[in-house]
Structure 1
Amino acid sequence: MSFTLKRGDRLVLATHNAGKLAEFKDLLADFGLDIVSAGELGLPEPEETGTTFVENARLKAHAAASATGQMALSDDSGISVDALDGAPGVYTADWAGVPRDFGKAMQKVEDLLREKGATDPARRTAQFNAVLCLAHPDGTDMLFTGIASGTLVWPPRGESGHGYDPMFRPDGHELTFGEMKAEEKHSWAPGEEGLSHRARAFAKFVEAVF
């Protein structure tokens, strides 16, 4: 059993989310991997029954690895709002409903913040969390975590990214994730931490397996 990856190896991205798939393809572009997603392979989406990002990341990665006999990389991520006691957390996507409407999800967050009187930036802090799980077909795995802290703005700004990006302004920056170009949001390079939660988890993944 080895978790080492090299150019030409196949890696299954355990996602059916087009936004996540695009971000991962950007991040992995220079590594020469044969990348295919669970959605492209027609694999069923496993039910995310976990109550933590780690549990759900493992569910998705192991389902894809078991179905394909290949190593699979999953991401479970979400936003945790301090004034909402960490919600929506693992239910980040659920707040967008079916079909996904993140405009509605962002409005829900804003409405709840206003109910609590959280209109001052100091009371609108939040963290984007990401857990990557690299699962081997033999049932073993490796985990990599990343956190990006910031402040929620209203109204949402920008058309880039996906999910709650337009209302999240990372610490130390004036632009929201929704206003940043992909290369700025990812801002990953060898030896650097990166800006987004996913980029920070990805940096740890690269250090461990390449």
Structure 2
Amino acid sequence: MSRLNALFLTLAVALGLALLAGRPPAPRPADAPTEAFSAIRALVDVGVIARSPHPVGSPENAQVRDYLVLRMNALGLSPEVRPDFGFRRIDRVSQPVFLGGAVENIVGVLPGRDRSAPALAIMAHYDSVPNSPGAADDAAGVATALEIARILRAGPPPMRDVIFVITDGEEAGLLGAQAFFSGDPMARRIGFLVNMEARGGGGLVQ
């Protein structure tokens, strides 16, 4: 075998191994062990949250809010609906654009062993754009947060508090996140945040 052929063969094998390594794991079934993440269990929540479009301020969004409060209560997170007003100024256009609106964030806490340590926050948003049920953006993120909460509750208490921040008004301009991080006292307790937002269908990617 020539050196060139050997090089191509090596590159082909390396590419194949890289593709195999990058494949996501197969989804676990609904009867997966309690300590395992089950995409099928999470999919039940996606089906309820993404039953219909539910933009911020709509009756459908209020139904999703109430469902999430029930789910988070069942998971022992003691959720609170936190009405607020989000406001943002965007300067990326020739004239400033001002965005604002009433939002209802949902915040729940899984207590940790050291309540004084900086908390871990897991964040997603529950509103959708007006013309989409938002299954990927971001019902999948919310359902993932609920499944993570279930797994954590099934094991020993985490070392520090885990705060579940389910924001509202994201599609209207990050209004819920802006309101939470600019004024909610719970935000000051967060030391690290995992934001489970969908990539979306376009735009810049970091």
TM-score range, shorter chain: under 0.3
Q: TM-score, normalised by structure 2?
A: 0.26
Q: Which one scores higher on RCO, CA 8 angstroms, separation ≥ 6? A: 2
